[in-house]
Copies of this chain bind each other. A is one copy, B any other.
Amino acid sequence: MSKITSQSKDFSQWYLDVVKIADLADYSKVKGCMVIKPYGYAIWENIQSELDRLIKEAGVKNVYFPLLIPESFLQREKDHVEGFAPECAVVTHGGGKKLTENLVIRPTSETIMYDTFADWIQSHRDLPLKINQWANIIRWEMRTRPFLRTTEFLWQEGHTAHKDKAGADEEAYRALKMYEDFDKEFLALPVLTGKKSDREKFAGALYTLSTEALARDGKAIQAGTSHNLGTTFSESFNIQYQDENGELKRVWQTSWGVSTRLIGTLIVVHGDEQGLRLPPKIAPVQVVIVPILKDDSKDKVLAACNQVVSDLTNVRSEVDARDTVSPGYKFAEWEVKGVPIRIEIGPRDLENGSCVVARRDTGEKTTCELSQLFTVVPKLLKEIQDNMFAQALAYREENTRSADTYDEFKKVLEEHGGFILSGWCGNEDCEIKIQEETKATIRVIKEEEVKCKCVLCGSDAKNRVYFAKAY
């Protein structure tokens, strides 16, 4: 097995090593596009199935809209086209002929969907309309990294229409909360949530809400977003409904999404020097059983291992029975792959009716009776899930500092990285200057009344905001 670069030496290279050695993804010959391998895709399937359930519980229905969007649709909304046109892949020929109108591959589906919403929505009885799709997206990217930033990625995009601002506000915050809860419960990811600055919001949105995690290199990573689109698109696409009094009104809309970037987020938040650490709830393999094989007891030990798999109902477990590599090699390989629990069974363990149980989150090893595994393992999986969240939260709290002056701000950023909570006057000039000079951007705005000064210009702050360098 290849060696993983140390996190402290070169975090970026550590990341690429983990993706490769844990067998999550491969490069393709298409610039910026990755091949998601079975182990990586299984993580995505687990994310999908859990999140899809939450989406449906919120009364949102799944649909599928075309991949290709007429260029003229994109152009109907000025901010939107400015934001996305430079990133588009353009289809100019189809069926052997030049097209009369170019088509772009969806960089996001607002325009193609909302053209149809205008047909679907006529009356207040058609509202709220709440749909979602799981789809692939293309955004031309110059500098790519598997899962974190790729030209093609997989995502879900929710799109809703409402009678008024209150309805859209409520839905945008509901989606944000859904992501926050999902990140916590399933991915063991603590996230900061809040509004983006206007400069960082989605092209065409009234405002954007975001979930932001903190990677172990001290950089912020945007894990999901939810937008109140206001009436921007209902104006461009003429989506109107007749209200209870027969009056024609424009709908208010939201859209919200998370993508395969969540897998990248898992890696950079939970990974350690040994590789990946996966939260049990979304780990494709929750328990790996490694037999210690000696010639004279081989069959017995393998039988005991297989028995453990049978005993562990409702646990995703498997036996690594390969006889081409040593147990030590297997330990290292499953560690890189981040499997939460490893069970070792050798001939001597078998004589004692016991086994060794190793936790990936803490590295701790204990002895356990084989007959007790069916109760011990599910409890331990839960403990690991909770501990991983606690560890990530502690890390974020240790790495969230406040700064009142610009000197302090720069010092904290240089020495520690992480989140910096500071006052901001709300002026884009200050935001830009801070970014140019320090590379830190406003990740989210803390929505509360404040009495403090802008960290750069010293005038009255409108809000305190979390700054960080970001992925």
Task: Point out residues on A near B: beta carbons under 8 Å.
Answer: 26, 28-30, 33-38, 41-42, 44-45, 61-70, 73, 85-96, 103, 105, 112, 115-116, 119, 125, 131, 135-136, 138, 140-142, 151-152, 154, 324
Chain A interface, >50% SS class: mixed
Q: B63 contacts A41, CB within 8 Å?
A: yes
Residue of B nearest to A38 (CB): B61
Given contacts A63-B38, A66-B30, A68-B33, contact A91 B116 (CB under 8 A): no
Given contacts A92-B92, A94-B140, contact A70 B30 (CB under 8 A): yes
Q: A136 contacts B67, CB within 8 Å?
A: yes
Complex interface: chain B residues within 8 A of A69 (CB): 30
Separation of A86 and B94 alpha carbons in the complex (Å): 8
Complex interface: chain B residues within 8 A of A33 (CB): 66-68
Q: B131 contacts A38, CB within 8 Å?
A: yes
Separation of A103 and B138 alpha carbons in the complex (Å): 13
Q: A90 contacts B86, CB within 8 Å?
A: no
Q: What is the minimal beta-carbon distance from A124 to any residue of chain B, in angstroms?
A: 12
Q: A105 contacts B91, CB within 8 Å?
A: yes
Residue of B nearest to A62 (CB): B41
Separation of A138 and B95 alpha carbons in the complex (Å): 10
Complex interface: chain B residues within 8 A of A64 (CB): 35-36, 41, 44, 154
Interface centre among A45, A63, A88 (most CB of B within 10 A): A63
Residue of B nearest to A95 (CB): B140
Separation of A116 and B33 alpha carbons in the complex (Å): 13
In order of increasing CB-CB distance, the 7 nearest A-B pairs are A95-B140, A38-B61, A33-B66, A36-B64, A90-B93, A89-B94, A94-B140
Q: B68 contacts A45, CB within 8 Å?
A: no
Residue of B nearest to A66 (CB): B33
Complex interface: chain B residues within 8 A of A44 (CB): 64
Separation of A29 and B115 alpha carbons in the complex (Å): 8
Determine how many copies of this chain the complex contains: 2
Residue of B nearest to A119 (CB): B26
Residue of B nearest to A150 (CB): B66
Separation of A263 and B363 alpha carbons in the complex (Å): 50
Q: A68 contacts B41, CB within 8 Å?
A: no
Can you name 16 A-B pairs with beta carbons within 8 Å? A26-B116, A26-B119, A28-B116, A29-B70, A30-B68, A30-B103, A30-B112, A42-B61, A67-B105, A89-B95, A90-B92, A90-B93, A90-B94, A91-B92, A95-B140, A105-B105
Separation of A69 and B29 alpha carbons in the complex (Å): 9
Q: A36-B63, A44-B64 are in contact. List 13 more A-B contacts (CB 8 A).
A: A28-B65, A29-B73, A30-B112, A35-B64, A41-B62, A88-B94, A88-B95, A90-B91, A90-B92, A94-B140, A94-B151, A95-B140, A95-B142
Q: What is the minimal beta-carbon distance from A187 to any residue of chain B, in angstroms?
A: 19
Complex interface: chain B residues within 8 A of A94 (CB): 88-90, 140, 151
Complex interface: chain B residues within 8 A of A65 (CB): 28, 35-36
Complex interface: chain B residues within 8 A of A141 (CB): 95
Q: A28 contacts B66, CB within 8 Å?
A: yes
Q: What is the minimal beta-carbon distance from A320 to any residue of chain B, in angstroms?
A: 15
Residue of B nearest to A116 (CB): B35
Separation of A33 and B67 alpha carbons in the complex (Å): 9
Interface centre among A34, A69, A92, A115 (most CB of B within 10 A): A92
Separation of A34 and B93 alpha carbons in the complex (Å): 19
Q: What is the minimal beta-carbon distance from A130 to any residue of chain B, in angstroms?
A: 10
Complex interface: chain B residues within 8 A of A90 (CB): 91-94
Separation of A89 and B324 alpha carbons in the complex (Å): 46
Interface centre among A36, A38, A64 (most CB of B within 10 A): A64
Complex interface: chain B residues within 8 A of A26 (CB): 116, 119
Q: B91 contacts A89, CB within 8 Å?
A: yes
Complex interface: chain B residues within 8 A of A131 (CB): 38
Separation of A363 and B306 alpha carbons in the complex (Å): 51
Q: What is the minimal beta-carbon distance from A238 to any residue of chain B, in angstroms?
A: 14
Q: B35 contacts A66, CB within 8 Å?
A: yes
Complex interface: chain B residues within 8 A of A34 (CB): 66
Separation of A306 and B49 alpha carbons in the complex (Å): 27
Separation of A224 and B41 alpha carbons in the complex (Å): 25
Separation of A96 and B66 alpha carbons in the complex (Å): 22
Q: What is the minimal beta-carbon distance from A322 to any residue of chain B, in angstroms?
A: 10
Complex interface: chain B residues within 8 A of A29 (CB): 70, 73, 115
